[in-house]
Amino acid sequence: MKIILTTLNSRFTHSAIGLRYIYANMQELQENTQILEFSINDAVQTIAEKLLVHSPDIIGLGVYIWNASEIHELIHIIKKVSPHTTIILGGPEVTYLPFRVNFDDADYIIQGEGDLAFYELCNKILNAVESEHIIKMTAPNLKEIELPYKYYTDDDIKNRYIYVEVSRGCPFECEFCLSSMDERVRAFNLDEVLEEFQILWERGARNFKFVDRTFNLNMKTANKILDFFLEKEPPYFAHFEVIPDHFPASLREKIKSFPHGALQLEIGIQTLNPEIANNVSRQLKLDKIEDNIRFLENETTAHIHLDLIVGLPGETLESFGKNLDKLMQMSSCEIQIGILKKLSGTHISRHDITYEMTYSDIPPYDILRNKQLTFLDIQIMKRFARFWDLFYNSGNFKNSVTLLWKDDTNMPKVFDNFYAFGLWIYEQTDSTWKISLQRQGELLFTYLNEIKKLNPEYIAKSMLEDMMKIKGRAIPSYLKPYSSNFTTKAKLGTSGFNKRQQ
């Protein structure tokens, strides 16, 4: 029996830890099992070709929100070309009903954690034992699962993020999140996991991305993991998803010890409005959140990534704008603006009638409108999020983009100013994609000069500091008339200017 485990990752640099868990637990079938990974940027028919050239008896497919449509197409092609090939689906996108993408052509669907279930099903198929089309699994005992880390290849270690975990589950009940469906948090044997991490390190792994939903929930575990990295020589990169209100002294001291660029913390804020947080069963301890974010901003070199969601039930644009303004007062870090999605199985559906929540049934199941936000509002905010990434989160205009709101009296109105800027950009481009860096800079300069009425030399000074920080970059044509004033020794040393360029 030939078995292939596969999925379509969202990017080439990503790797599928779930496939490696299944492979690690295939027992005697492992020698006949192979992992093949692709990305959603690959042509689906080419993926089918590369799978079927191996003449597999069974193909196991990991289905996620980002690849559900492509997996549907892939199943269709495989079943047309090789109808005898058995297709087994697993992953979050098929674990809960309803299925909004048609997976009827699949032979079997494993709902829940498939680490052990996939092997058991393959054994039944091999021995011609009947099984249900949909197999619902209870959470396995993590102590019984073989760890997957030895099955990251040298190529993975060299070119991809290495996904790891020390626990599964989440104790919180945020209604928009699939993790809220977990009954409890379960932990792996930490000593065994750290031994595996050490082997990965010795093989050259330096990019560790933890998929634990609440890394800083258990202080003993969190401190031991941080110690693992602090004992190592940089450079390395460790990414953790953390809860914003739990940074006791021991954790703070360790986070402060990490060198620049070594630590990234992703913090799901989602909303700072207590009423809205209560609507979606989300805990919100504002004082602790504000204190912890200020600590991370002012006393550490960690890269901080904060999340906000547009479209939560009951939240207006005004309320969302206040969230953004407040976060910007606390921190200058990256703020990711997401659009609410309705994931099958989550309890967010209980608000559908009261708040007139209307979602797309096509992945990623974004909200289209609700009682507070029109379809046009949502469309504008999707563009707002894209432009925010281009002009703020990218870091390309770190200083100059703040000129949009810097001269406001009292409290800067970041949201209002960037909202107006986003509307203006879209009027000029009729697009949110394929806007070159040169064009982005021209748009920002023009807006600040012609709409905000700022002094062009003042604008140019800030933009030159931003855009010329990369050594060797040519001065953009729209800034050349102002570049002669940008000649101090310090600036020349960091901007890449030279006499020939001037």
With contact defined as beta carbons under 8 Å apart, do 69 and 38 qualify? no
Ramachandran angles phi, psi of 182, nearest 5°: -70, 140
Q: Which residue has tokens 């905010």?
A: 381
With contact defined as beta carbons under 8 Å apart, do 68 and 106 qualify? no
Q: Helix or strand or coil: residue 230?
A: helix
Checking if the pLDDT of 422 tops 80, the result is yes
Name the DSSP letter for residue 101. Answer: S
Q: Kindly list the structural domains of the chain, giving each domain's residue range(s) and its CATH number in brackets, ordered by start.
A: 3-141 (3.40.50.280), 152-373 (3.80.30.20), 446-495 (no CATH)
* 3-class DSSP string for 289-339: HHHHHHHHHHHCCCEEEEEEEECCCCCCHHHHHHHHHHHHHHCCCEEEEEE
Report pLDDT digits (tens) over 446-463.
Answer: 999 999 999 999 999 999
Checking if the pLDDT of 490 tops 50, the result is no
Checking if the pLDDT of 470 tops 80, the result is no
Cβ neighbours of 502 (radius 10 Å): 12
Q: Helix or strand or coil: residue 169?
A: coil
Checking if the pLDDT of 492 tops 80, the result is no
Q: Helix or strand or coil: residue 209?
A: strand
pLDDT of residue 496: 38
pLDDT of residue 407: 73
- pTM of the complete model beyond 0.85: yes
Checking if the pLDDT of 182 tops 90, the result is no
Report pLDDT digits (tens) over 21-77.
Answer: 999 999 999 999 999 999 999 999 999 999 999 999 999 999 999 999 999 999 999
With contact defined as beta carbons under 8 Å apart, do 495 and 433 qualify? no
Cβ neighbours of 482 (radius 10 Å): 18
- Distance (Å, whole) CA 79 – CA 207: 38
pLDDT band at 408 (very low <50, low <70, confident <90, very high): low
- Distance (Å, whole) CA 501 – CA 288: 49
Q: Which residue has tokens 């209980």?
A: 350
Q: Helix or strand or coil: residue 192?
A: helix
Cβ neighbours of 157 (radius 10 Å): 17
Q: Helix or strand or coil: residue 121?
A: helix
The verdict on whether omega for the bond into residue 481 sits within 30 degrees of 0, i.e. cis, is: no
- Distance (Å, whole) CA 329 – CA 95: 40
pLDDT of residue 498: 35
Could you list the beta-strand ranges (E) of 121-253. 134-136, 162-164, 167-168, 186-187, 207-210, 237-242
Start-to-end C-alpha separation, the chain: 68
The least confident of 79-93, 318-332, 396-410 is 396-410
pLDDT of residue 171: 85
Report pLDDT digits (tens) over 240-294.
Answer: 999 988 899 999 999 999 999 999 999 999 999 999 999 999 989 999 999 999 9
With contact defined as beta carbons under 8 Å apart, do 111 and 96 qualify? yes
Report pLDDT digits (tens) over 205-252.
Answer: 999 999 998 899 899 999 999 999 999 999 999 999 999 888 999 999
pLDDT of residue 369: 98
With contact defined as beta carbons under 8 Å apart, do 232 and 198 qualify? no
Q: Is the dihedral of CA 163, 167, 173, 179 positive or negative?
A: positive
Q: Helix or strand or coil: residue 191?
A: helix
Q: What is the dihedral of CA 111, 116, 122, 124, to 10 degrees?
A: -90
- Distance (Å, whole) CA 495 – CA 475: 10
The verdict on whether omega for the bond into residue 364 sits within 30 degrees of 0, i.e. cis, is: yes
Q: Give me the amino acid identity at 137.
A: M
Checking if the pLDDT of 502 tops 60, the result is no
How much is the average pLDDT of 102-129? Answer: 96
pLDDT band at 385 (very low <50, low <70, confident <90, very high): very high
- Mean of all residue pLDDT scores within the chain: 93
Cα 180 to Cα 64, 67, 257: the distances in Å are 17, 22, 32
